[in-house]
Every structure is written in C-alpha cells, then in structure tokens.
Amino acid sequence: MNRKDFLRNTAFGAGAFMIPRSMLHATPIEIQAALNGGMDVATKKILADVALAAAKAKGATYTDVRIGRYLNQFVVTRETRVQNVANTESFGVGIRVIANGSWGFASSNNVTKEGVAKTAERAVAVAKANAKILDAPVQLAPQKGYGEVSWKTPIEKNAFEVPVKEKVELLLAANAVAMKGGVNFVNSAILAVNEQKYFASSDGSYIDQDIHRMFPNFNLTKIDVATGKFESIKSLSSPVGMGYEYLNADPSEKLGGVVTRYKNRYDMMEDIANATEGVKQKIKAKSVEPGKYDLILDPSHLMLTIHESVAHPTELDRVLGYEANYAGTSFLSLEKLHSNKFNFGSKLVNIVADKLQYGSLGAVGYDDEGVGTKKWDIIKDGILVNFQAIRDQAHMLGMKESHGCCYAQSWNDVQFQRMPNVSLQPGKEKLSVDDMIKNVEKGIYIIGDGSFSIDQQRYNFQFGGQSFYEVKNGKIVGMLKDVAYQSNTQEFWNSCAAIADESDYRMGGAFNDGKGQPGQSNAVSHGSSTTRFNGVNVINTARKI
C-alpha cells in the first residue's frame, strides 16, 4: 500500500537497491525466455475480440482490453561481488468496461478464450455494482479507432540481448575504479525494462507496442575514519527510454564544466572516476552558511524540482480532489486555469508536457486507453495554460479529446491519469552555463538530485542535491556541503532569472513516480537546460546527535 509520490522500499534494513515495487511481484525467468517473442499478435487480436464481444454481450457500452507482458532484468553488485541477477516476467490481461454509466475493471493471468471472456464478464459485473452508487455517468471523450497499428521505442540495442556477463563485467570494472580511488563502499546496478503491450478497444483500435527502458547507476560512499563522518555521491546517469546504446560513451553527448555531464549517451567508467574524486572533495567541503543565494541548477537536479512542483500540481485528478486521501491535492484550480492570467512563473518559464520525446521514459505511441500521444503547453510565458487529462476528464476542461496520458503499471492494475514527461523549455537567447555563473555574486551551483519533500498541495518544498559548488563574484570557488533550499512553488518559479540555451538541454527521470490506492508506479522524464533562480533561501542541514 506504499506510497505517495516517489515510492520507496521500506523493508527494515537500509541500503536496499531501489526497485519499483511493481517489479517485485513478477516471476523469475531465464533470459532465453525473455527473448522469445511471447504470444503472437494474431492470437492477441483473436483473444481481444473474444473479450470485446463478451463484454458487449453483457451490456458494456465501452470496452478496452490490455494483454501485457512485462519483462524486467536486474543486475546488482557491490564492491567486488554480484549481489543479484534476476529476470522477471509478468503476463496477463486487464479488461476495463463502461456499463450502466460506470467503470468496471477485472484482470486475470488466464489468457485463453475462456479466461478473457470470463474476465470481461467480471468487469461488467463490477461496473454494474458500482453503477448503483453512481452520481454521474462516465463521460468519455470520443476517440477514433486506429485499426491495426504498432509502435516501438526506437532502440539500437535491446538491453535484454546483451549477455549478463557483459553487464557484470562493466559494473565490477566501475566498482574497481571507485575502490582503487579510495572510496569505502560502492553499489552499482543495471536495470532493464520491456513492456510488450497489446491494446484493443470497442472504438476499433488494435495497438501493439514494444516499450524499452533502462537505467545504469551507482552510488559510492567515503568514510572519514578520523571523524566517523561519511558522504555519498550517486551517478549522473538517468533512467532512459532507450536500449543498451545509452551505455555507448560518445564525446558529442558530453558536456564539460566542473564535472562531465551526459545527454543521450552515458560513460559510466568516466562518471565513476569523477564521482570518486568528487566524494573526497565533498567530505572535506565547507559547511554552507545559511541565507539567500542565487541557485544555478543543473538539469540532473532541476528534473526533480520540476517533477514535484510543476508536474504534480498540474495533474487534473489532484486538482479535482481524487487523490485527496493519498497523493494529495493541488494549489492550482480550474478557476486559476480559466482566468488565463495565473502567474505560475516568470516570463522565461515555458513548460510542456510531451509523450513523444526521444529517449524519455514516458515516450509511447499510444497511451493505455488507445489515444495517440502528443505534446502540449502547460505553462506558457509564465502563465498556467493547461493541465494533464485523460478521456474521462477531458470534458472537465472543456476539451474534445484526451491528452493521451493514461497508464497502468501492469495488466492487473486499472489504468488512470499519470504524469507525462513534463519539461522546462530551454532559453531562447544564446546563453551558456559559464555566462550564467559570470553574473552571480553569491550563489550555489547544484548538480544531481538528493533529498526532496513537498507539501500535499505543492506549495512549500525543500530539496537537497548531490554536489554543491560555491559561486562568489562570478567564479566557482570550491565545494559546499549540508545544503538544502526551501521555497514556495509560485515564488520560486517567479524567481527564475536565466535559462541556458538548447545546447545545454538534458533529461533526468525516475521509474518510481507513485499515485493511487492501491499504489502504482509510473516512469517519467523531465528535461531542462541549466537554470538560475535568484534569492532562494538555503538552510544548513548539519546536526549533532
């Protein structure tokens, strides 16, 4: 039943590798089994038609069928040894219907003609039971059928086809760099995800999708034996909607500066060498003096601030109160949207939702209710202009069609509105990070995301980070530690004073965006260029116990 927002593992015992909860209940399989194609599309169509007919016969006025095969692979190491190699699979069907004006949902791992027919009938029975306590019938935005179509993440190399041995060798070689460099502990992992989703609906769509995601990462810790203090730094990689090609280091995808940062290709060996030096500096760094600072936020950090303070409060279900008992509501409202003058941020702030973006975690051709995906404005020149809505919410915004951001974490969970990729657009004027720092008298340049917390209506937040660089009179003068900043969402985005140009644009993301009861995970990316916010309140987090 855990938990709102970013889900986390809560088993007793610290140090557990972050694995989305939804992936923990799947069945272990051999890698060869993961590489066979599973059920063929023609069979899926036959089964989907059986389900559509069964639901209609029982009185459904709308039906969608999702036959899903969800594959995951984890390769997890620490220091010199492999901790875990696991391949998991989950296969089944989820059927959602409208009957007597109400939603009903049922799922089963019996994916046969009999199994899907029975599941469809169960879904109709649930809908009819719910209809008895219904105030207003579901209003579904119209959606044309696409016929038989398909979409695949544009990958160059399927991560599941890369031998486990190669992954283990990479991770242990990276760990060795860190250990040789004098860190005390290092954990590293490669996570690969493949969602094979077949969707069919009574609108006449038969959509076959093959979605790939992966995430190489590490976390290293250095202990100062004299003081007993310790510090950690994690990798600057991102979870991505790509294949194994993400790990093909490419100089043209790197950005220099105080530390190398990565765009669409990642160099793990270089990053771990940099982090090894970084953690040694961090442990010796000066403790921050609290006060107001201009913050220069790298995309690897800003992605989490965007996630919490922009992407969540613009989810329509939160705005309306559907998540009041769990994920929370929003400081935004339909009135603020319809005023067309709600000043979310400074004029520089342009934020878009995008389900198509290359390399992003949220990229799909069609969402989980058969809507072709798209890109739309959320904040335009600082003004709130839209929310995130799906088919049964579109009418609440006066829209004639869905935004295409409906998602279920698995075949056995019901789909609902989930966050698309939400990103800050780069600055329109040519501006580098160095140019941006040049004008700062007293500032902190933050790279990487750390601790994060925000209230249930998304006003007040506090963020930490990975690496903090002190900026004095236009120059980086050294590292800081014990840094966190606090602000109010609207105040913060109105303090946005400069955004670097497109050449600095990068995405970060996470697999574990959580919402709903029972909880479901969603994978989402957030892009930006380095951005400066003036006069933000910074606190010192050092304590003695």
Partner 1 sequence: MAILNKEQAQQLLKKVLSYSKADECEINISGSEGGNIRYARNAVSTSGGVSQNSLVVSSAFGKKLGVATINEFDDASLEKVVRRSEELAQLAPENPEYVSFLGPQVYKESATYVPATGAIDPKFRADAVATSLKIAKDNKLVAAGFMQNSSGYSAMMNSHGLFAYNKSSNVDFNVTLRTEDGKGSGYASKGFNDVNKLDVASATKFAAGKATGSATAKALEPGKYTVILEPAASIVLLENMFFAMDARQADEGRSFLSKGDGKTKLGEKLVDDKVTIYSDPQHPEIPTSTWNGDGRPQEKINWINKGVIENLYYSRYWAEKKKVKAVPSPDGIIMEGTNASLEDLIKGTEKGILVTRLWYIRSVDPQTLLLTGLTRDGTFYIENGQIKFPVKNFRFNESPIIMLNNLDALGKPERCVSGESGISALIPPMRIRDFTFSSLSDAV
Contacts of 7 (CB under 8 A, 6+ apart): 20, 21, 512, 513, 514, 519, 521
Question: Which one, 181 or 290, has the nearer CB to partner 1?
Answer: 290
Question: Which one, 345 or 359, has the nearer CB to partner 1?
Answer: 345
According to the binding rule CB under 8 A, does residue 458 interact with partner 1? Answer: yes
Residues of span 201-230 touching partner 1 by CB under 8 A: 221, 223-230
Question: Which one, 305 or 360, has the nearer CB to partner 1?
Answer: 305
**String marking each residue 172-201 x if it binds partner 1 according to CB under 8 A:** ------------xx----------------
CA angle (527 as vertex; 326, 440 as ends), nearest 5:
105
Question: Which one, 223 or 249, has the nearer CB to partner 1?
Answer: 223
Cα separation, 399 vs 383, in Å, equals 19
According to the binding rule CB under 8 A, does residue 64 interact with partner 1? Answer: no
Cα separation, 11 vs 16, in Å, equals 8
According to the binding rule CB under 8 A, does residue 542 interact with partner 1? Answer: yes
147, burial (CB in 10 Å: exposed 0-12, middle 13-18, buried 19+): exposed
* Residue 500 C-beta: closest distance to partner 1, Å: 28
Question: Which one, 138 or 385, has the nearer CB to partner 1?
Answer: 138
Cα separation, 272 vs 543, in Å, equals 29
According to the binding rule CB under 8 A, does residue 453 interact with partner 1? Answer: yes
Residues of span 81-100 touching partner 1 by CB under 8 A: 81-82, 85-86
According to the binding rule CB under 8 A, does residue 340 interact with partner 1? Answer: no
According to the binding rule CB under 8 A, does residue 32 interact with partner 1? Answer: no
Residue 182 Ramachandran class (φ > 0 left, ψ -120 to 50 alpha, else beta): left
According to the binding rule CB under 8 A, does residue 518 interact with partner 1? Answer: yes
Residue pair 347/415 in contact (Cβ under 8 Å)? The answer is no
Preceding peptide of 96 cis, ω within 30°: no
According to the binding rule CB under 8 A, does residue 439 interact with partner 1? Answer: no
* Residue 329 C-beta: closest distance to partner 1, Å: 8
Among 146, 218, 331, 468, binds partner 1 (CB under 8 A): 331
Number of residues that bind partner 1 (CB under 8 A): 76
Question: Which one, 218 or 376, has the nearer CB to partner 1?
Answer: 218
Cα separation, 489 vs 492, in Å, equals 5
Residues of span 224-263 touching partner 1 by CB under 8 A: 224-230
Residue pair 505/408 in contact (Cβ under 8 Å)? The answer is no
Cα separation, 286 vs 318, in Å, equals 41
Cα separation, 343 vs 336, in Å, equals 9
According to the binding rule CB under 8 A, does residue 459 interact with partner 1? Answer: yes
According to the binding rule CB under 8 A, does residue 168 interact with partner 1? Answer: yes
Token duo for residue 521: 């995970």
According to the binding rule CB under 8 A, does residue 545 interact with partner 1? Answer: yes
